[in-house]
Structure 1
Amino acid sequence: MNSPTQKNAMDAGTIVVAGVIASAIGAIFYNTLPMYLGAAQDHRSLGNEQIGLIGTLFFLGYTVCSSSAFFWIRKVDWRVVSYSAIAVAAFGLLVAGGGSSYIALLAGMFVAGCGFAGIYAVGTTLLSDTSNPARWYGAKITAEAAIGVVLLVILPAVVLPRWGFIGLSAAMIAAMVLLAPSIILMPPRGVRGTSEEEQAHRVGESQSVWFALIACALFMCGQTAIWGFVERMGAGAGFNPTLVGTMLAVSLTFAVAGSLLAAWLGNRYGCLKPLISAHLVFFVGLAALTRGHLFEAYALGACLVMFSVGLGISYSVSTVAELDPDGRFVVLSVPAIGIGIMFGPGIAGFLARGGSFAPVLAFGFITLMISLLAFIYAERHGRRIAGLTEKRETP
C-alpha cells in the first residue's frame, strides 16, 4: 500500500473515470436482468425454472472468466482485454437474442457472461489500486445503477414494443459501444501485486480474505435471487407492466443513493459498520415484499433491497481489498460476486416453480444472514492477524 506521503498514480482522475466506466459496462446485463428475464419469458414462452437457468448460464460464463483473471489480471494489457471483452459480450448477446432455440439462448448467455466478466474484472482491479477503494467502488456502483436506470426506462417503453427480444440485445450492445471510448484512458497495468514480496502470502493471513470472498458470494446470491424475480413478483400481483418497469427504474435510483452514500463515506467508518447497515436495510425490504400484493409495499421493498445492494456491494469488495493489501486476491471478488449471482436466479426459479415467491424471500433472508456473520468473522480475524503481525515486527 502507498504511504500518505507517496502519490499514487492510480488516483489520477482520468484513470479513475476509466475504471468506473469499465465496471459500469461490465454490469449492464446484471442491472437489466429482471427486464431481460421477463422479456425472455414473454417472447419465448418460458417457465420460471427456464428463465432462472438463463441467468445461471450467464453467470457461469461470468464466473469461469473472472476466476481465470486471478492468473492474468496483473500480466496483460488492460485496454486490450477490455475491448476484446466488449466484442465477446456483444457476440454472445446477438446469439442469445437472435437464435431460434432455447439452447442457442443459453449458449449465447454463457459467452456474453465471459465477455462482461472480463471488463468488470479490469475495472474492479483498477479501482482497488487507488488510495481509497471504498470511495471509488461507491462511485462505480453509482455509474452502474445510473446506466441501468436509463436502460430500464427506455427498454420497456421504446425498445421491446417496437423491436422485441432481439432489440433488447441490440440496445445493450449500443450502450457498450457508446461507453467504450473511455477505456483508452486506462493504464496498461496497475501498480500493485507485482513484486515478489507482495506475492508471498501465508495461509493464516489469507484466511480472512477467503471468508470475505465467501461472504461476497452469499450477499450477491441472496440479493440476485430477489432482484431477478422482482419483476415477476409484480406481474404475479397483477400490476401494470409499464408501472412495474418504472418502479424497477426508480428502485435503481435507490441503488444509486446507496452507492453515493458509500462514495461519500469512503473509509470514514471502516467497512464493517456500513455492511451491517446494508444487511439490516435488506431485511426490512424483505419484510415489505412479504406484503407484495399491495403496490406500495412492493415498491418500498424493491427500493430498500436495491439501496442495500448499492451500499453493501461497495463495502463488500472494499473489505476484500482491505484484508488483501498486496492486491493478490481482490480480483477474486469478481468471481465471488459471479458465483453468488449465478446461483441466485436458478435457486429462486426452482423455489418459485409452484407460483409462490415466499420461499424466494426466505432464501434471501437466510443467505444474507450467513453473509453478515461471515463478514463479521473476516473483519475480526483480519484485525487479530494484523495485530499479531505488528507484534512480530516490533523490536
Structure 2
Amino acid sequence: MNTSTIDKNQALSGEQPHAVSPRARLAAIVLFAAIIPTILMTAPAVAAQLASQWHLGPSQIGDLFATELGAMSLATLPAFWWLKRIDWRRAALLAGALFIGANLLSIWAQSYPALLALRFASALAGGSLMIICLSSAASTANPSRVYGLWVMGQLVVGALGLSLLPHLFEQYGLAACYLLLAVLMTLCLPLARYFPRGAASPAQSTQPAAAVPTWKAACGLLGILGFYISLSGVWTFIGSISAQAGISAQASGELLAVATVMGIVGAGCASLIGNRLPRLLLLLLGYALMAGSLLLLLGAPTLARFALAALAFKFTWTFILPLILACLADLDRSGKLMNASNLVIGGGLAIGPTLAGRLIENTGGFQPLLIGGACLSLLSLALILGSRRAP
C-alpha cells in the first residue's frame, strides 16, 4: 500500500491524516529515537560485561558493535523501497515487534554466532525505526527544535544507562540490558500511532514545490559525512590525547563525564533556540567553536585547556547536529533524504576512528589528526552552507 492510497482511504473515511497532536508526535519521535541506540550509547559498560560474562576478546566485542552499527545503517537500503509504499505507523509497529523479539531472544542466546545474529536483527529493526523518526521530524513545523530534542533524548538515556547498567549487571548479568530494552520498547509501541502515515503530500507541504538540485542534496549528505568523520575520529582518541599530555586517567574520566552533560546542554540549546535566531549565524558560530576546540588540544594541553576544549567540543557537536539535520529537512520532507542521512551517519562513525587510527600510527602524534579534524569540520560547514535553500 503506497502513501497515495493511504491518503485516498483516509479521505473516504473522513480521517484527517495529519490531525495528530504535535506534542504526541514529538513524544513518539523523541522516545523511540532515545531507546534505539542505547546499546551504542552505553558501549563501555556493555563491552566490559561482554568481556567478563561471555569471555569475549576485543576483536569479538568490536565485531559485535560493528554489526549493530552496520545493521542500523543498512536499514536505509530497504527503506528506499518501503518509505513510499508502506504506512509508516504499520512499519513502526512491525519494526518495534522485531526489536522486542530480538532483544528477548538475546537473553537466552547460548553462542556468539547466535548473539551476533540477534543483535543484527535488533539493530536492523532499530535502524528502520530511526528512519521513521528522522523522516517524521523533517515533516514538523520546526525541525531544528525536534532534532535538538532527538539528540538530547539519546544523550540522556545514554548517561542514565552508563550510571545504572553496571549495578544491574552485577545483579542480573547482561540479560538486564536486553530485557530493559524490550520493556521500554513495549511501553513506547502505542506511540507508533502518532507517526505520520507517510510523507506529506505536495498539498500538505509548506515547502516550495520546486525540486531541489541533486548537487545540493549531495552537498548536504557530504557535509554530514565530514562532520561525523571529524567528530568520531577525534572523540575516539581524546582520552589518549589527555594521557599523552600527562593528565591522569581519573581527571580525564571525570572531565569526559561532565562533557556528556555539556552535550545534553548543547542539544537542549539547539532545541530551545529553534527558529528564533538565523540558522546561518548559529551554524557559523557552532562550527567556529568546534574547530577552535580541536585546535586547543594541540601540543600538550594543560588540564584547564584540555577541560575547556573537551567541554566546548562536546557542546558544539550536539548543538550543530540538529541544525545540520534541519538543513536537510528543508531540502526534502518526503523522508528520502533523511533516510540517506541514516546511512551517511553510520558511515561517518565507522570511517572516522579508522582514518584517525591510521593517521596517528603513520605520523606518530595527534597534531595531524587535530588539524585535519578542524579543516574537515570547516569543509563540512562549506558543504552544508552550499546545500541550503535560497532564502
Tell me the TM-score normalized by structure 1.
0.76
Which one of the candidate residues 355, 374, 385 is aligned to 1:365?
374
Distance of 1:277 and 1:269 partners within structure 2: 12
Q: Can you list the C-alpha shifts for 1:204-235, whole angstroms capped at 9, x where unaligned?
A: 53432232122112212221222333345556
Q: Is 2:34 the counterpart of 1:24?
A: yes
Distance of 2:102 and 2:290 partners within structure 1: 31
The residue identity in structure 2 corresponding to 1:364 is: G
- Give the equivalent residue in structure 1 for 2:58: 46
- Residues 223 and 55 (structure 1), Cα distance of their counterparts in 2 relative to 1, 3 Å cut: farther
Q: Is 2:121 the counterpart of 1:115?
A: no
- Give the equivalent residue in structure 2 for 1:150: 160
Which has the higher mean CA deviation after the structures are superposed, 249-258 or 174-183? 174-183
Which has the higher mean CA deviation after the structures are superposed, 179-188 or 84-93? 84-93
Q: Is 2:177 the counterpart of 1:171?
A: yes
Q: Can you list the C-alpha shifts for 1:41-85, whole angstroms capped at 9, x where unaligned?
A: 8975538xx877665443322211123322223414143134135
Distance of 2:58 and 2:234 partners within structure 1: 19
- Give the equivalent residue in structure 2 for 1:185: 191
The residue identity in structure 1 corresponding to 2:376 is: T
| Bigger-Rg structure (1/2) | 2
Q: Is the 8 A contact 2:142 2:275 kept in 1?
A: yes
Q: Is the 8 A contact 2:135 2:333 kept in 1?
A: no
Distance of 1:193 and 1:236 partners within structure 2: 50
SS in structure 1 at match of 2:58: coil
Which has the higher mean CA deviation after the structures are superposed, 366-375 or 15-24? 366-375
Distance of 2:204 and 2:104 partners within structure 1: 37
The residue identity in structure 1 corresponding to 2:92 is: R
Which one of the candidate residues 12, 15, 19 is aligned to 1:9?
19
The residue identity in structure 2 corresponding to 1:116 is: G
Q: Is 2:97 the counterpart of 1:87?
A: no
Distance of 1:269 and 1:114 partners within structure 2: 37
Shift of 1:237: 6.2
Q: Can you list the C-alpha shifts for 1:178-222, whole angstroms capped at 9, x where unaligned?
A: 3541231232751553648899x9875343223212211221222
Q: Is 2:127 the counterpart of 1:126?
A: no
Tell me the TM-score normalized by structure 2.
0.77
Which has the higher mean CA deviation after the structures are superposed, 32-41 or 204-213? 32-41
Which one of the candidate residues 97, 116, 135 is aligned to 2:145?
135
Alignment size in residue pairs: 368
- Give the equivalent residue in structure 2 for 1:216: 224
Shift of 1:130: 1.7
Distance of 1:377 and 1:309 partners within structure 2: 20
Q: Is 2:347 the counterpart of 1:335?
A: no
SS in structure 1 at match of 2:141: coil
Which has the higher mean CA deviation after the structures are superposed, 269-278 or 11-20? 269-278
Could you list the runs of 5+ residues in structure 2 that have no partner in the other structure?
1-15
Distance of 1:232 and 1:38 partners within structure 2: 19
The residue identity in structure 1 corresponding to 2:265 is: A
Distance of 2:304 and 2:354 partners within structure 1: 27
SS in structure 2 at match of 1:185: helix
Q: Is 2:332 the counterpart of 1:320?
A: no
The CA RMSD measured in Å over matched residues stands at 4.0
Distance of 1:238 and 1:51 partners within structure 2: 29
Distance of 1:21 and 1:64 partners within structure 2: 22
Could you list the runs of 5+ residues in structure 1 that have no partner in the other structure?
1-5, 387-395
- Give the equivalent residue in structure 2 for 1:3: none
Distance of 2:149 and 2:257 partners within structure 1: 18
Distance of 2:217 and 2:160 partners within structure 1: 35
The residue identity in structure 1 corresponding to 2:383 is: A
Which one of the candidate residues 41, 66, 69 is aligned to 2:79?
69
SS in structure 2 at match of 1:193: coil
The residue identity in structure 1 corresponding to 2:97 is: S
SS in structure 2 at match of 1:9: coil
